[in-house]
Amino acid sequence: MDPEAAQRLHPADEKRILRALEVYRETGKTITEHNRETAALPPRYDAVWIGLQFEDRAEMKALIDRRVDAMVEAGLLEEVMGLLKSGLPRDATALQAIGYKEFLGVAEGSATVDQAVAEVKLRSRQYAKRQLTWLRRNPEIHWIWWGKERDFARALQISTEILSAAGVS
């Protein structure tokens, strides 16, 4: 049906395979055709891309770790347990998100809180790295270098200048 997608998709990537079949069923077009057509469409919105780039990866890691700690302190485990008690199936898409997935093990008794926290931190850092890799391929992004001093006023000033130059008020 779609040799290009078959080459690109891993046989175990159930979600993407199902999406490809869904697109074919609904449109009569392969996912490869669909993606080519939608990529050729003009953008719906004029967008200005602004990204933060950390000068020090250790600083980004520390921020991610602090954010995970704050999520745990705010009741991540209790939230996961509440979702399970409400009848949400374990394999629900919502419970596959970073944080929820790792704390399912704690709720079910197969992992400790410390193990889950370490795994959430690791997966969050890996996700941030993938996001940056994806974003770096976009030549339209205006990068703001974010140093240890975390000068919010300077970042706001730079962002405002970028938006102003793009005609956004």
Diameter over CA atoms, the chain: 55
Which domains, and CATH codes, for the chain? 3-40 (no CATH), 49-165 (1.10.287.890)
Residue that has been written with the tokens 């399970």 in this structure: 84
pTM of the model: 0.76
Alpha-carbon 41 to chain mean position: 24
Cα–Cα dist 160/3, whole Å: 46
Q: Is residue 127 within 8 Å of residue 101, measured between CB atoms?
A: no
pLDDT of 43: 84
* pLDDT at residue 25 in the model: 96
**Dihedral angle over CA of 54, 56, 60, 63, nearest 10:** -110
CA distance 161 to 169: 10
pLDDT at 147: 76
Tens digit of pLDDT at every position of the chain (169 positions): 899 999 999 999 998 999 999 999 999 999 999 999 998 999 888 899 999 888 888 989 999 999 999 999 999 999 999 999 999 999 898 999 999 999 999 999 999 999 999 999 999 999 999 999 999 999 999 999 887 667 888 889 999 999 999 988 7
